[in-house]
Structure formats: structure tokens, C-alpha cells
């Protein structure tokens, strides 16, 4: 905030956003659950459930996972996706990276007077296709129409509900005995990313500015819940995040802050497409700080690394997964070992290189 007014950087996911959350929202609304500041809130239901796959008389305790997000991406259609697909995937992914199975989504539209019905139908069809593919149901919603100029064609809000069950299904290799959280990264853990970085942000910028960059640029927007399920079956995951606004570097700074640890990255191991790298060089942008919408970061126990990495590589959305770093004892810091052998401190940016990418 500058001069006590909201500016664009307050919504960019960097230092300004964190200050806004702390000094306005947490100050007025803070409680033990909200103060955790994970991608979703997890809380236990006050009932226990019997299940036919458990032994007779045994019960299992489900926890509820709840999240919400709003989408204002511009343009509303871009290679690889649109605001509808993005809204569903974003909420599914915020649930999935908490170890939850996404089940139900709410859907609220703010529509601008004059929006073409054909565009709206295309977006709704995309929502239907994406939610069906991910195995979630749209169960409630709302629609508001505002005068021309009061919003930019269409804004969407989605909320999602999922379940986290620490005891069911009792599959071999199921090791989740605590909630996945940004607070649980530990020295010695290994950092994995599920694929190439910066695809979404550069694609949206190219479409918005009509830059005509070469390389068949395409957003990576995708639902990650099935990939996460495969990962949870084979090993211990302490922390997961989807590196959206602010990209890989910002997300890792959040984890370092929450867990009071350091993170050491190896630049040579961070996957990036040649076309994205060239685009960033032309535009003077740092791909480490550019948004992704179909990737996840996993912080895992060292002894489970190869099992989890193998499971990820077998999945279409994880085929380019790489080990990119490790958790170290230096508190609240992110370091990059550069390709030329130097060390670079990756700080959280004040704003964002690219506004309105989600």
C-alpha cells in the first residue's frame, strides 16, 4: 500500500501482498486457522466414519480442506486455456497440494454488460470439461452483472472443498501421518518440481501484448490432483505448493519463511523450455519469478525422494520432474547456485513482473 491506497503490486503475491495480508486482513480477521497461511485451511470434522474397506468396527477420521480464489486473468482466452479452465484448476490445485482429494467447487461470476454470450458459453464449457476430467462437481454458484467498464469482461471466484484422510485408503507405502503444510519443511529434505517453469506467465503476456513470440508458447494450466494422489501413495511429503503468482522463487521464499529454514537451489537442474528462456531474455524477465499454473513444488524426505520422483515421472503432468534443491539450516533464505558457480540470493519481490496472470 502507498499513501493508504491499494496499488497493483498489492495483488502480485510478493512483499506488498504479504504486507497487505498481515497489516489489514490478519490484523482484523486473524485466528489460529487463518494465521497458518497455507493454500487451504484444514480442520477436522467432529464425527468419525465407518468404511467397508476398514476392519469391522474400525472408523476413519476425515478432515475437511477448504479454499477460495478469484480469477481476473487478461486476456480471458490464451493458448492452452482460458479463465474458466484456470479457475477450476487453480482451486483444485490449492486443495491437492495440501494432500486433499478435491470433491466440490462453487462458482461465482461477475459479468460485464456487453459480454458476448458466445464467449461465456465457451468459458462455461471449458469449466464443465475441466471439472469432469478432474473428478470434481460444480455444486453451487452465483452470477452478477455490472455496468460496462466496472469489470473487464468476466471475473470468476471459485471455492473448493476436499477431504484429507490420514488413515484411508490403507495402501502399502501410504506414509501421510500429518497434514502437508508450508510449515513442515525440514533441513535435509529434498526439493522437487514437477516440470518446466514460467510457461503460463510468458504465454499470457505474449497473448495480452500480441508480441508474436516464437516457440509455440502454451500455458501449462492443468489439474494436479491425480498426480498428487500418485505421489502420496509412495512416500512422505512435508510441503507442497503450486508456484503461481510470483513463480518458483516467491513460493520457495514463502516456504522458507513459514518453516524457518533455508533453501538451496541448483540453477542447472531447474527445467525451463528453450522458447521460454529466450522469451525471458528478450523481455528482460526472470523466469524464476514468473507464474505457473500446472506445476507443483514438493519438499520430501530424502529417503523417499526416488520413489516419489519415479511416481511423478510416470504421470503425464510429472514427466519432466526434477530434483532442484534441498532444505538447509540457514533460516528464512533462498539461495541459487548459478550455472557459472556463483551464489545468488533469491529475495521476494516487492511486486510482480506480470500482473493479472491468474
pLDDT at 159: 99
What is the predicted pLDDT for the residue at 174?
40
Q: Which of 207, 193, 211, 227 is CA-nearest to residue 324?
A: 193
What residues contact 250, with CB distance under 8 A and at least 6 apart? 13, 14, 243, 289, 348, 349
Beta strands 297-300; 190-193: pairing state: antiparallel
Tell me the domain boundaries of the chain. Answer: 38-345
Question: What's the pLDDT at 70?
Answer: 98
Cα 40 from Cα 35, distance rounded (Å): 11
Residue 134 in contact with residue 92, Cβ under 8 Å? yes
pLDDT number for residue 149: 96
- What does R_g of the chain's alpha carbons equal in angstroms? 20
Q: What pLDDT, on the 0 to 100 scale, is given for residue 2? A: 62
| Alpha helices, H only, 135-220 | 199-209
Mean pLDDT per 10-residue segment, the chain (358 residues): 80 85 94 90 72 53 90 98 99 98 98 99 99 98 98 98 67 54 97 99 96 92 98 96 96 96 98 97 96 98 97 98 97 95 92 82
As a whole number of angstroms, the distance between CA 197 and CA 241 comes to: 14
For residue 111, list its beta bridge partners: 145, 154
What pLDDT is attached to residue 16?
87
Q: In the prediction, which pLDDT does 167 show?
A: 45
| Calculated CA dihedral for residues 25, 332, 192, 229, nearest 10 degrees | -40
The pTM assigned to this predicted structure is 0.91
Q: What is the pLDDT of residue 254?
A: 96
Superfamily per CATH, domain 38-345: PurM-like C-terminal domain (3.90.650.10)
HSE of 352, CA atoms in CB hemisphere, 13 A = 27
The sign of the dihedral angle between the CA atoms of 260, 264, 269, 275 is positive
Amino acid at each position: 500500500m502507498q499513501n493508504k491506497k491499494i496499488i497493483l503490486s498489492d495483488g502480485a503475491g510478493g512483499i506488498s501482498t504479504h504486507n497487505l495480508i498481515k497489516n489489514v486482513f490478519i490484523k482484523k480477521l486473524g485466528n489460529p486457522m487463518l494465521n497458518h497461511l497455507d493454500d487451504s485451511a484444514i480442520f477436522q470434522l467432529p464425527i468419525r466414519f465407518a468404511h467397508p474397506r476398514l476392519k469391522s468396527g474400525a472408523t476413519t477420521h476425515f478432515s475437511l480442506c477448504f479454499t477460495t480464489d478469484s480469477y481476473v486473468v487478461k486476456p480471458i482466452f490464451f493458448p492452452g486455456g482460458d479463465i474458466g479452465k484456470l479457475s477450476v484448476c487453480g482451486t483444485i490445485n490449492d486443495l491437492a497440494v495440501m494432500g486433499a482429494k478435491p470433491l466440490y467447487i462453487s462458482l461465482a461470476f461477475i459479468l460485464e454488460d456487453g459480454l458476448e454470450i458466445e464467449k461465456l458459453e465457451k468459458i462455461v464449457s471449458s469449466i464443465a470439461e475441466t471439472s469432469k476430467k478432474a473428478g470434481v462437481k460444480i455444486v453451487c454458484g452465483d452470477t452478477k452483472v455490472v455496468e460496462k467498464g466496472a469489470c473487464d469482461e468476466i471475473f470468476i471466484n471459485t471455492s473448493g472443498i476436499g477431504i484429507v484422510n490420514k488413515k484411508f485408503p490403507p495402501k502399502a507405502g501410504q506414509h501421510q501421518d500429518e497434514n502437508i503444510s508450508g510449515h513442515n519443511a525440514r533441513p535435509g529434505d529434498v526439493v522437487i518440481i514437477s516440470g518446466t517453469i514460467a510457461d503460463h506467465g510468458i504465454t499470457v503476456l505474449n497473448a495480452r501484448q500480441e508480441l508474436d513470440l516464437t516457440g509455440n508458447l502454451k500455458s501449462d494450466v492443468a489439474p494436479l490432483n491425480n498426480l498428487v494422489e500418485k505421489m502420496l501413495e509412495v512416500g512422505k511429503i512435508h510441503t507442497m505448493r503450486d508456484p503461481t503468482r510470483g513463480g518458483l522463487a516467491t513460493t520457495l521464499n514463502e516456504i522458507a519463511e513459514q518453516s524457518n529454514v533455508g533453501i538451496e537451489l541448483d540453477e542447472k537442474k531447474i527445467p525451463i523450455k528453450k522458447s521460454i528462456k529466450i522469451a525471458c531474455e528478450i523481455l528482460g524477465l526472470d523466469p524464476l519469478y514468473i507464474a505457473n499454473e500446472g506445476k507443483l513444488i514438493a519438499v520430501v524426505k530424502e529417503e523417499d525422494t526416488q520413489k516419489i520422483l519415479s511416481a511423478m515421472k510416470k504421470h503425464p503432468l510429472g514427466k519432466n520432474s526434477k530434483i532442484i534443491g534441498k532444505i538447509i539450516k540457514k533460516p528464512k533464505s533462498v539461495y541459487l547456485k548459478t550455472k557459472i558457480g556463483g551464489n545468488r540470493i533469491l529475495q521476494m519481490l516487492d511486486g510482480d513482473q506480470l500482473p493479472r496472470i491468474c
